[in-house]
Amino acid sequence: MAGSGQRRAPGEYINLPSHAAADVDAYFEYRAIVGDDDGGRVFSPEEYEEYKRRVLPMRLHNRLYVSWVNPQGMDCILIGPQHKCLCRHKFSEHKTDFPEIPTERPILISCKQPGCRCVSFEYVANASGTSDPNCRCKHSLDNHNTRPPYKCQKNCNCTGFSAPFTCTCGESANKHITLVESKEEREQRGHPTGYATPYKAM
């Protein structure tokens, strides 16, 4: 093996302890469960167990389903942790754990990031799947307000952010809605609910 500070030759392997793969798997599971709830400081084993004892029952029993739905009720996108909101923050950075499922409708999934005034998660319709889309007014997402109706701040005639593309379902993006529903409500729509998961924002 190359010495400290030296480059490794092509094809040279790094020797890792036998338990390294298990440690990596454990960390990825930790991050999937905790997300950023640890504030950037990894929980101690005791704190981690206490977190799971307190939070996991909520996720398993009070799961909410979030999807981007067209006018016919088709789920065009099932929202997951990495999907972005019009407030620029990911779904996992919003409040997704509830001691009890809210009784008021619509259910609001507010952003937890400091200084963000987002009232509820609204999916950013993105045709490319990579960079943020521009609005029909030609201005970028960053030029729009982070609260409904997400008006442009460039003094144009924009009445609210609207992605200018057509979904693969055939409907324009601005005809879709971000729908938040309980397991029972989703089943009433005739849509699958899958199985309960301990992972954050799933």
- CB of 64 closer than 8 Å to CB of 103: no
167: Cα separation from own chain's centroid: 20
Band (12; pLDDT cuts 50, 70, 90): confident
CA distance 130 to 111: 22
Q: What is the pTM of this model?
A: 0.84
Among residues 89, 127, 137, the alpha carbon closest in space to that of 109 is found at: 89
Q: Domain ranges for the chain, please list them.
A: 62-188
Judge whether residue 3 has pLDDT over 60: no
CA distance 49 to 61: 18
Judged by average pLDDT, the poorest of 10-19, 20-29, 182-191 is 10-19
